[in-house]
Amino acid sequence: MATHLRPSTAAPPTRDAPAPGAHRPREKLLSRLDRGGSPYLFIAPFFLLFAVFGLYPLGYTAWVSLHDWTISGKGDYVGLANYRQLFGDPDFWNALGNTLGMLVVATVPQLVLALIVASLLNQQLRAMTFLRLGILLPIVTSVAAVGIVFSQIFDRDAGMANGLLGLVGVHPVDWRADKWSSWLAISTMVDWRWTGYNSLIYLAAMQAIPRELYEAAAVDGAGRIRQLRSITVPMIRPAVIFTVISSTIAGMQLFTEPLIFGQGPDAISGGSLRQFQTVSMFMFEKAFRNFDYGYGSAVAWMIFLVIMLLTAINFFIVRRMK
């Protein structure tokens, strides 16, 4: 493919040909401008929008975070005091721990499951299209609906989860009272929604693996598991890296599921002892419940930095793997 895309030096821009004589120098300038400038013009809309809706708020948030900014508006410039307070705030570290914890609890089984589902779908089955569409269905469901339904499943008194546990003689679990149980419930919601999406990405990557490799492996006596480990996984590594990075970013921004899971008027605190409060919930609580905008902005910037850090770690791992 690449050879076709190489610009051919032999063919001059056809537009120049019919314009004769007089306006030549100006035309030349215009066409040079056109060639040098128009690509930038074409990508400009994105960067303009990014500057207005991405860069500017980012900068403004940084500016707010350096002030004592409350409900009555901008107060004194306080330098890094908000950040200093943040580093000493146990609730922030708790929220960060919860977020990273749920990230691991949700992502690891999700990707493993997605891999298994994808390899099951990557063979001749009946009703293939139906199955492939089916695993993608959860992604169309609204997060709020998922949150509400799963909150009822993980209800302490009348929930289905406790009902099933009761059948095998396990005492009812108060899902919101402990870290482990609330993390598990919330991770289930995340996984239910995203496993199908990830397995579709894996499936696409798997379809690109040449069949001969499997045939050769089969001739050499490799079983299904061995084929998965030695052929499939190494061959779809780029897809795996992509899903890991996108799951990491999504996991750092986890908000709606725990918020709906929390219930009650004070759900933003994520449980009586902040068992499942994520960093984005913590930010929202500080900025929009306590109206401490300066502090909330400092939290927002810390989330940004943590995501950057995680992405950088991902990036270096990827580079080493190459």
Partner 1 sequence: MARHRRGVLAALAAAASLALLAACGGGGGDGGSGSGRTTLVVKTFGQFGYDELYKKYEAAHPGVTVKEENIAKLGDYAPKLQQWMATGRGAGDVVALEEGILTQFKADPGKFVNLLDYGAGSLKGNFLDWKWQQALTTDGKDLIGLGTDVGAQGMCYRTDLFKKAGLPTDRDQVGALWPTWEAYLATGERFTKAGTGAHFFDSSGSIYKNILIQQGDHTYYDTSNKLVMESNPGVKAAWDQTVRMITAGLSGNILSYSPQWNAGFKKGTFATIPCPSWMLGTIEKQAGPENAGKWDVAKVPGAGGVNGGSFLAVPKQSKHQKQAADLVKYLTAAQGQTAAFQAKGNFPSSPQAIDSPAVQGYTAPYFGNAPVGKIFGESVKALKPLYLGPQNNPINDEVTNALIAVEQGKLSPDAAWKKAVGDAKRLVQ
**For residue 272, which of 179, 197, 152, 203 has the smallest C-alpha distance?**
179
| Residue 269 · residue 285 · CB < 8 Å | yes
Picking from 176, 182, 188, the residue whose alpha carbon sits closest to that of residue 109 is: 188
Residues 178-237 that bind partner 1 (CB under 8 A): 178
Q: Kindly state the smallest distance separating residue 288's Cβ from partner 1, in Å.
A: 5
Of residues 288, 308, 312, 316, which one binds partner 1 by CB under 8 A?
288
Among 157, 167, 169, 220, binds partner 1 (CB under 8 A): 157
Q: How far is CA 230 from CA 79, 120, 222, 233, in A?
A: 54, 16, 9, 7
Closest CB 23 distance from partner 1, rounded Å? 13
Write b or e for each residue in 182-197: b if 16 or more Cβ atoms lie within 10 A of its Cβ, otherwise e: bbbbbbbbbbebbbbb
The residue among 6 and 26 lying less far from partner 1, judged by its C-beta, is 26
DSSP assigned state of 275: T
Q: Which is nearer to partner 1, 202 or 295 (CB)?
A: 295
Mark the segment that binds partner 1 (CB under 8 A) among 3-11, 27-35, 223-231, 268-276: 268-276
Q: By CB under 8 A, tell whether 22 contacts partner 1.
A: no
Among 85, 227, 253, 314, binds partner 1 (CB under 8 A): 85
Residue 29 binds partner 1 (CB under 8 A) = no
Total of residues contacting partner 1 (CB under 8 A): 27
Q: Which stretch binds partner 1 (CB under 8 A): 2-10, 170-178, 224-232, 314-322?
A: 170-178
Phi first, then psi, for residue 79 (nearest 5°) are: 65, -130
Q: Closest distance between partner 1 and the C-beta of residue 240, in Å? A: 38
Residue 64 neighbours by CB distance under 10 Å: 21
**Distance from C-alpha of 116 to C-alpha of 119, rounded to nearest angstrom:** 5
Q: Taking CA 131 as the corner, what is the angle to CA 126 and CA 132, rounded to the nearest 5 degrees?
A: 120
Q: How many CB atoms lie within 10 A of CB 160?
A: 13
> Under rule CB under 8 A, which residues in 92-151 are in contact with partner 1?
151
Q: In whole angstroms, what is the distance from residue 312 CA to residue 318 CA? A: 10
Distance in angstroms (rounded) separating the CA atoms of residues 58 and 55: 5
When asked if residue 269 is in the footprint of partner 1 (CB under 8 A), the reply is yes
CB of 154 to partner 1, least distance (A): 10
Among 264, 319, 321, 322, binds partner 1 (CB under 8 A): 264
> To the nearest whole angstrom, how small is the minimum distance from the Cβ of residue 299 to partner 1?
14
Residue 157 phi/psi, 5-degree rounding, is: -90, -40
Residue choice 141, 174, 210, 230 for contact with partner 1 (CB under 8 A):
174
Pick the closer one to partner 1 by CB: 85 or 246.
Answer: 85
**Residues within the interface to partner 1 (CB under 8 A):** 71-73, 85, 89, 91, 151-152, 155-158, 174, 177-178, 263-266, 269, 271-273, 288-291
